[in-house]
Amino acid sequence: MEKVSSCSSSAAFADTKPHYNILDGLRGVAALMVLAYHVFEAFATSPTDQWCNHGYLAVQFFFILSGFVVGYAYDDRWKRMGTKEFFKRRLIRLHPMVVVGALLGVAAFFIQGSVQWDGTKVATSMVMLAMLCTLFMIPAVPGTGVEVRGNGELFPLNGPYWSLFLEYIGNILYALIIRRLSTRALSVLVAITGIGVACYAIGNGSGYGHVGVGWTMANHYLEAGFLCMMFCFSAGLLMSRVFKPVRIPGAFWLCSLGVVALLVVPHLGGNDTMWINGLYDALCVIVFFPLLIWLGASGKTTDKKSTAICKFCGDISYPVYVVHYPSMYLFYAWVWDNGLTFEQTWYVGLALIIGNILLAYFFLKCYDEPVRKWLSKRYLAKK
């Protein structure tokens, strides 16, 4: 998820600043882990028993990375840019692919027969209204007509858009309030929200001992998602202000391994010890992810191969996040309706991963980059 700001796009305003290409690569690695997490979700019987069990934490990684990149790119250029220009830049970066993801979500819903998960038929007018809400990032209230899938998602045509919704809120708060905070005040905000995240996670606020929240208004998950976003985004901003590199060799490969390792850890603890998994989630979000981003920003790729991998991963990260989930709805329906196992369908899951990467690259080159280039030329101020 730009979930998930793009280093390359955000830094476009940063004329002479060095480019953190390793952070691009790490964002791509996290996006691919989200893709794998969602494939394996088809075979989970609960939020505690799937492979890549902590893949939901990638969203918090995106938020921290987004805060770091936004602060790095814009904090010291505000007088020359201004609020209006910032909002235009963020919309141009994010929204073209939002449109694509919404249309793919509509197509997938129609292919499934325009029915909720329980088989209830949904009127085409409601699907169109849900599409408009998605295009304008208006969340659906559970139980209303636009909540067309019937399982409480904020954006039922493309579930992961909940994190984009929070990303937009983070950017708005940054432009209007947070950027004005002194480093000391920002540190206080990070400390308070960090304590809040830790208490929520360890105290089992979600009911499952995790912080995989924000995707629905039910059970106060949206408020918890907002809390997590506020900590992560603010922590990233704070890091961008106080950052001093600590040079380490092989930073991309070491940090990528760290991201993967943290996300594939199985659910920890049992029904009576959910706090153990909550503690793990809190440590990942508050300690390990910021450390990985700090180390990633400290390093540099030193060969063409690593540089090319980082660029490719960074380029496809946001498109992959946006386009992949509609196909997951179809995959889930096929698996669940037929009672299939992973052993029976692993090749389809692999094809989904490869296919979504190719689809993301297609939309990146044939739509997203040309549209953003045209919009930037037409609507953005000259450097």
Contact between 69 and 237 (Cβ < 8 Å): no
Q: What integer pLDDT is reported at residue 13 of this predicted model?
A: 42
pLDDT band at 11 (very low <50, low <70, confident <90, very high): very low
Q: Is 132 in a helix, a strand, or coil?
A: helix
Which residues does 9 contact at the CB level (< 8 Å), separation at least 6? 89, 93, 372
Contact between 313 and 346 (Cβ < 8 Å): no
With 0.75 as the threshold, say if the pTM is over it: yes
Q: Which two tokens stand for residue 69?
A: 């990149």
pLDDT in tens, 169-217: 999 999 999 999 999 999 999 999 999 999 999 999 999 999 999 999 9
Beta bridge partners of 153: 216
Q: What integer pLDDT is reported at residue 32 of this predicted model?
A: 98
pLDDT band at 157 (very low <50, low <70, confident <90, very high): very high
Q: What integer pLDDT is reported at residue 14 of this predicted model?
A: 41
* Residue 380 identity (one-letter amino acid): L
Q: Half-sphere exposure of residue 348, counting CA atoms within 13 Å on the CB side?
A: 17
Mean pLDDT for all residues in the chain: 94
Rounded to the nearest 5°, which phi and psi values hold at 140?
A: -90, 135
Q: What integer pLDDT is reported at residue 15 of this predicted model?
A: 47
Q: What integer pLDDT is reported at residue 49 of this predicted model?
A: 85
Q: What integer pLDDT is reported at residue 350 of this predicted model?
A: 97
pLDDT in tens, 37-92: 999 999 998 888 888 899 999 999 999 999 999 999 999 889 888 999 999 999 99
Q: Domain boundaries in the chain?
A: 7-95+160-379
pLDDT band at 3 (very low <50, low <70, confident <90, very high): very low
